[in-house]
Amino acid sequence: MTRKTSVIRPWLSTAMLLAASTAQAQDVPEQAHRLFVGDHANGVVHALDADTGAMLGDFALDMTPALTAVGSTVFAVQGASGKVALIDSGITLEDHGDHADLKITDPALLNLTLTGTTPAHVVEGSGQIALFDDGTGAVQLFTEAALRAEPFAPVTLEPGAAHHGLAAPMGDYLVVSVPGETADAPRVGVKVIDQSGAQLGDVMPCPGVHGQAQSARVFAFGCKDGVVLATPAANGGAPVLQHLPTAELGEGNVSTLKGGTALQFFLGNYGPDAVVLIEPGSDAPFRKIALPTRRVDFALDPVIARNGYILTEDGQLHLLDILSGTITQSVTVTEPYSMDGHWRDPRPRLAVAGGHIALTDPLKGVVRLISTETFAEVRQIPVAGVPYTIVAVGGSGAAH
Ligand code: ZN
Ligand code: ZN
């Protein structure tokens, strides 16, 4: 671990920031949402207020980051630089039992920078965060609060050799990917380990395992030939692994997953022009939904539990009704972004912030906010450079 001086370049002048905090003290908002946008070319993350469009600051990094939000922290993963910068979003929802208290401060880079050989996937579960290092196969395990405590002392586990992997914390256990013979050979499956790193049970085959999500305490993992579900044992024992084959769905496989919040389901990619709804415990767990053109990105609404949003390369945003498994609305929101070319070419990404779908439009240099109620664009936020990756942080709470 290294600590370095935080680099923050506030967009607003200090005087304006002071004025803003005075206004906040008198009139504390009861909901707040912020967007963190990574640039496609440069090492920078922009912090924006999703409710007003105000720029809240820029954070300088070594390279263009992959972004993951956990609680009030944004992980800016810079794999090739061996670093993960940590941004305090400035929005904290503190659990008060029957309600949450909303606390708002300026976004800021934490002093702590996580380091590794090639840090990659960040996964949260059961109040713990697991950072997988593809370069070593090691897993760092810690809580969000530990990122702000001195000294930072994560538990480090070494469940296997180096590979592009993942680790999902589940109570006293973790589900981790199992590498093939070499780092470049296809991953073979997943296994359960305890927090001393000891394996419990057999490896569950899950060829090429990639992508995971959690919904109502169940984790799902994408495989070349299906999906593995990990369900917590009723007695607090090791999670139970189950492989659901997807052969009947035709050509394709799941490698990116999102998990429902109020409803238990997963939404995954399937081939270039479909998505699949996955319902644990159902006799027919898969519903494949064909899209009119190739898929660019998709997201779930954490508030409106039955809404999924899918952007396709023709620039259309589709509303997927999770309950019926059908697309009920489609609107054109950007110029076409062809899926021909490299997978990492600049194309829009989606996040959901309160009542808005936030969508980066890299070639236009804006973030577009689309109402989740009307599907109409309500705001464009100009962002310097090429806005690309995006995560939303926020929610609603009491201000007392
Ligand atoms: Zn309270
Ligand atoms: Zn990956």
- Distance (angstroms) between ligand 2 centre and the Cα of 209 equals 9
The closest ligand to the CA of 221 turns out to be: 2
When pLDDT is cut at 50, 70 and 90, the band that residue 389 belongs to is very high
- Three-state DSSP class for 347? coil
The closest ligand to the CA of 77 turns out to be: 2
Long-range contacts, stretch 153-160, CB < 8 angstroms, 24+ apart: 155/195, 157/193, 157/195, 157/197, 158/197, 159/191, 159/193, 159/197, 159/199
* Nearest CA-CA partner of 222 in 207, 232, 240: 207
The closest ligand to the CA of 209 turns out to be: 2
Sheet with 266-269: strands ordered across? 257-259, 266-269, 274-278, 286-290
Q: Which residues contact 45 (CB under 8 A, 6 or more apart)?
A: 36, 37, 38, 39, 58, 59, 61, 65, 67, 74, 76, 85, 87
Structural tokens at position 31: 């909901």
Structural tokens at position 264: 């238990």
Q: What pLDDT shows up at residue 184?
A: 84
Tens-digit pLDDT profile for residues 120-170 = 999 999 999 999 999 999 999 999 999 999 899 999 999 999 999 999 999
Distance of CA 163 to the CA centre of its chain: 20
- Distance (angstroms) between ligand 1 centre and the Cα of 48 equals 26
Structural tokens at position 165: 């992997």
Statement: residue 96 has pLDDT above 70? yes
Higher-confidence position of 72 and 6: 72
Structural tokens at position 102: 């909303």
* Nearest CA-CA partner of 81 in 111, 48, 113, 103: 113
- Three-state DSSP class for 352? strand
- Distance (angstroms) between ligand 1 centre and the Cα of 333 equals 39
- Distance (angstroms) between ligand 1 centre and the Cα of 145 equals 19
- Distance (angstroms) between ligand 2 centre and the Cα of 389 equals 14
The closest ligand to the CA of 68 turns out to be: 2
Q: Which residues contact 272 (CB under 8 A, 6 or more apart)?
A: 252, 294, 295, 339
- Distance (angstroms) between ligand 1 centre and the Cα of 92 equals 12
- Distance (angstroms) between ligand 2 centre and the Cα of 256 equals 9
What does the pLDDT average to over 200-226? Answer: 97
- Distance (angstroms) between ligand 2 centre and the Cα of 297 equals 15
* Nearest CA-CA partner of 164 in 145, 179, 176: 179
Q: What pLDDT shows up at residue 29?
A: 53
- Distance (angstroms) between ligand 1 centre and the Cα of 90 equals 18
- Distance (angstroms) between ligand 1 centre and the Cα of 100 equals 6
Taking the complete model, does pTM exceed 0.85, yes or no?
Answer: yes
